[in-house]
Amino acid sequence: MSDRRPRVRRAGHASAADGSVITWTMAEGSRGSRWREVRTRDGSVVSSLLLELDPEGRFSHLELSTAAGLLTLHPEGDGSLHGNAVTADGVRHIVAVPWASGDIILVEGSAIARAAARPVDLGAHTGRAAGVAIGLDLGLERQTFEASDVAIELDSDGLPALPGGRTWPLEMED
């Protein structure tokens, strides 16, 4: 019998303090975890996010769609982030944004990005972590985050416990 804990596969739904409604899923697999989130406000999509972490919980891939366009990002072996932003103005290539394996990604207004970043050691001695902040305009800003930037209540599975929210197993019902 294996002493490995079962893989988490859950979904959730909640209202956020900013008035948006969040619906999310998280599924763990052999290649890490895959988080999805759709945020709506007044019936319109604000953002749609796919965020993947490797088996060690480090960022490995992002796809973010907002009114500004579609952003994709992934770390390269050379210590940088690469990807592109597809917008009404064309394609903007993202090359050589500094990146270290312990860095985190935060997306403006995203509970899922904060929850996915939470397990990262925010500098056991400093309470800080480096990474990239992404705005809804798809702009990237390298910065140092404080623990308060990532603060979100998590349940025993490390998933967001949003006020007034509910969660359920991510399985098809019979």
Cβ–Cβ under 8 Å, residues 64 and 53: no
| 129-149 mean pLDDT | 92
Cβ–Cβ under 8 Å, residues 51 and 62: yes
What's the chain's average pLDDT?
88
**Tokens in use for 166?**
């509910």
Phi, psi (degrees; rounded to nearest 5) at 96? 60, 35
pTM (two decimals): 0.89
Cβ–Cβ under 8 Å, residues 54 and 32: yes
Residue 16's DSSP bridge partners are none
pLDDT tens digits along 61-116: 999 999 999 999 999 999 999 999 999 999 999 999 999 988 999 999 999 999 88
